[in-house]
Structure 1
Amino acid sequence: MATGLLTSERAEQIVTTCRTAVGDSLRSITYFTRDDFEQVYLREDLERDADLSTFIGHEWRGFKTAQTAYEGSELGDYNYTIRVFDNGFLVRVTTDTDGVFVTTDGLTMKDFEEVATAIRVFLTERDDPDA
Structure 2
Amino acid sequence: MATGLLNAEIADQIETTCRTAIGDSLRSVTYFTRDDYEQLYLREDLERDADLSTFIGHEWRGFKTAQTAYQQSELGDYNYTIRVFDNGFLIRVTSDREGVFVTTDGLTIKDFEEVATAVETVLSDRAIQ
TM-score, normalising length from structure 2?
0.97
Match of residue 10 from structure 1:
10
TM-score, normalising length from structure 1?
0.95
Q: After superposing the two structures, state which structure 1 stretch, 85-94 or 5-14, moved more.
A: 5-14
Structure 1 residue runs of 5 or longer lacking an equivalent are none
Structure 2 residue runs of 5 or longer lacking an equivalent are none
User: Conserved in 1, the CA contact under 8 Å of 2:71 and 2:77?
Assistant: yes
1:45-81 superposed Cα distances (whole Å, 9 cap, x missing partner): 0011000000000000000000000000100000000
Rounded to whole Å, the distance in 1 between the matches of 2:64 and 2:55 is: 14
Matches within 5 A, 1:62-73: 62-73=62-73
Secondary structure at 2:65 match in 1:
helix
Match of residue 85 from structure 1:
85
After TM superposition, give the deviation of residue 26 of structure 1 in Å: 0.3
Match of residue 76 from structure 2:
76
Match of residue 59 from structure 2:
59
Extract structure 1 runs of 4+ deviating beyond 6 A: none
Percent of aligned pairs with the same amino acid: 81
Secondary structure at 1:18 match in 2:
helix
Rounded to whole Å, the distance in 1 between the matches of 2:84 and 2:64 is: 20
Aligned alpha-carbon RMSD (Å): 1.0
Rounded to whole Å, the distance in 2 between the matches of 1:106 and 1:2 is: 26
After TM superposition, give the deviation of residue 5 of structure 1 in Å: 1.1
Rounded to whole Å, the distance in 2 between the matches of 1:4 and 1:32 is: 12
Secondary structure at 1:17 match in 2:
helix
Question: Aligned partner of 2:46: which letter?
Answer: L
Match of residue 111 from structure 1:
111
